[in-house]
Chains A and B, each alone.
Chain A
Amino acid sequence: MMKLLRHKLFGPTVLAVLLFFAPLIISTYSVMILSEILIMGLMAISFNLLLGYTGLLSFGQGAFFGLGAYCAALMLQAGYQNLFLILLVGMLASLLASLVVGFFSVRLDEIFFAMITLGFGMLFFSIAHNWLDVTGGSDGLPVFVLPSLSLLGNEITFYEPTRMYYLVFGIVLLGLVLLWLIVHSPFGLILKAMRENKQRVSFVGGNVRLLRIVAFAISGAFTGLAGVLFCLFNSMATPEFMHWSFSAKPVIMSIIGGTGVFLGPLFGAGIFFVLEQIIIQYTENWMLFLGIVLVPIVLFFPQGVFGTLRNKIFKQGVK
């Protein structure tokens, strides 16, 4: 029994089953919050491929999230209805943009890397904010028609929140499986080695710059995928997605949940939104309370809430 509990796929499988059946139990409003948690969780886990696995703190992930969202909004406005095409184009656009940003950023480390990615992020924000004809400026781009899916001859639409949830659940699950395979591949091992010491990686023959660009591009592509989903969920793409304060969200979620565990940032996203929902009932200044919560988490849960609890329960190192 203990062996089964310790299996590294046991927890994620239970979680996936719970998430699958959750809409049967919880309210429609909660289903919508859960959709948002899953989308932001995908963004945070993609971000954590850089912070937790590669040791790079990117403060510009909002740019790729927004790019995915704008791609989806523009395609839907132009009349493209194919769900998979929209997902693919959003991911590809973010992949290309992150290749360019990565090319210029990855030669730097630590605070300099954080600042240059923040700079690029704000550049994207300015474009989205000021290029009225294409992006709609500060009003953003509304989406009126959602793509549908043909399954076994049936046309499935996603206007109903529970159906939207299952779309989000399916795509996020697929994204997380792919990311899990990446971090557990030989490439993922090299990322972990780079986090520890990039010079030593070059001493074993690793091209550090190229490896970092690849990691940055993978992270950007999955962040773009989350952006596409958020645009569909939110029926809107706005420049706020690209603002640096939005880029701070995956940073906070990863730190709350734990950067050393694959699913840590997803739990961080969950804690983030649940706290927001609770606090917002009493006060509008919920960011103040987020700050108050964040301080003890950093002090008492050095590996994040999920990371620290997991290590305490299983008394094992981070895998």
Chain B
Amino acid sequence: MLKVKDIHTYYDDSYILQGVDLEVSAGEIVCLLGRNGAGKSTTIKSIVGYNHPRKGSITFLGQEISKQSAFKNVRLGLGYVPEDRRIFSELTVQENFEVSFNDKTEIRWSIDDLFSTFPLLDKFRHRKGGELSGGEQQMVAIARALAGQPKLLLLDEPCEGLAPVIVEQLGEIILRLKEHFPILLAEQNAHFALEISDRGYVIDKGLICFSGTQQELQNNEEIKTRYLSV
């Protein structure tokens, strides 16, 4: 469904991604693990079209998207939940959902569906996004991505800075969403990510240094200590 092939991405002059390959197929949660600064977020941003790779290809649903603007990729079906829960803090929760552009012909997530998927948010419907707690904001960010009717979800460090009990709830939500679309999850918290993922990649210094199933990753002590600080 999503194929990333040998992408090279720069931030100004710094050479960040030095040939990243990865794939996400229907029905799976794939995690992208690595330490801080390894290139996880840059990979996600390259895919969504926020930071275009200078070389390499990204295909999504059979279309080449590596040079396409973020808004077109989102409309094509890439749901994106940015790191740091970047919601619209001046808009109410419901307005955060309403600003999402989507294909009006195929609504799988109506505003009501979003509130029934995240019942906690229902009572904050008309509260401004900025007044919510970190965990609630993360839920708004995920629900807002759903309002765009995604066919694949990109999650960038969803549990960063959240309390363990919230992280646990988030894991359950992500597992439930897997029934609807595949998910690519960039995460520093390997414990959390490996618990819910089917497969995973480990990235270090802009290169994928290991890939395998959840079991393979769980059992590889070397990888866990060298790259994941588990």
Contacts and interface: CB of A to CB of B under 8 A. Distances in A.
Contact of A205 (B50, B71, B95): B71
Interface string B122-158: 0000001000000000000000110110000000000
A193 B74 contact: no
Interface in B60-94: 69-71, 74-75, 80, 82, 86-91
Interface residues of A, number: 19
Size bin of chain B's contact surface: 20 to 34
Interface string B152-189: 00000000000000000000000000000000000000
Contacts of A153: none
Main secondary structure of the interface of A (DSSP, over half): helix
B100 interface: yes
A196 B148 contact: no
B58 interface: no
B128 A201 contact: no
A185 to B, nearest CB: 11
B74 A204 contact: yes
A196 B70 contact: no
A202 interface: yes
A296 interface: no
Nearest to A260: B90
Contacts of B80: 203
B101 interface: yes
Contacts of A186: 98-99
B91 A189 contact: yes
A189 B86 contact: no
B86 A205 contact: no
Interface string A189-201: 1101101110111
Contact of B90 (A192, A199, A205, A208): A192
Contacts of A189: 91, 95, 98-99
A291 interface: no
B10 to A, nearest CB: 18
B18 interface: no
Contacts of B145: 204
Nearest to B74: A205
Nearest to A207: B71
Nearest to B144: A204
A193 B147 CA distance: 15
A193 B144 CA distance: 13
B48 A203 contact: yes
A79 interface: no
Given A186-B98, A199-B50, A208 B91 contact: no
Given A205-B71, A207-B71, A193 B99 contact: yes
B148 A192 contact: no
Contacts of A200: 82, 86-88
B102 interface: yes
Nearest to A195: B90
A206 B82 contact: no
B88 A193 contact: yes
Interface string A161-197: 0000000000000000000000000100110110111
A207 B75 CA distance: 10
B50 A204 contact: no
A204 B69 contact: no
A8 to B, nearest CB: 14
Given A196-B89, A200-B88, A205 B75 contact: yes
Output the residue of A190, A200, A207 with the most chain B CB within 10 A: A200
Contacts of B102: 205
Interface string A82-108: 000000000000000000000000000
A202 B98 contact: no
Contact of B88 (A197, A205, A317): A197
A196 B69 contact: no
Contacts of B91: 189, 192-193, 196
A205 B82 contact: no
A186 B147 CA distance: 14
A206 B80 CA distance: 13
Contacts of A208: 71
Interface of B: 48, 50, 69-71, 74-75, 80, 82, 86-91, 95, 98-102, 128, 144-145, 147-148
Interface of A: 186, 189-190, 192-193, 195-197, 199-208, 317
Given A200-B86, A205-B102, 7 more contacts: A186-B99, A189-B99, A199-B50, A202-B70, A204-B144, A205-B148, A206-B71
18 contacts: A190-B99, A192-B88, A192-B91, A195-B90, A196-B88, A196-B89, A196-B91, A201-B99, A202-B50, A202-B74, A203-B71, A203-B80, A204-B99, A205-B75, A205-B100, A205-B102, A206-B101, A208-B71
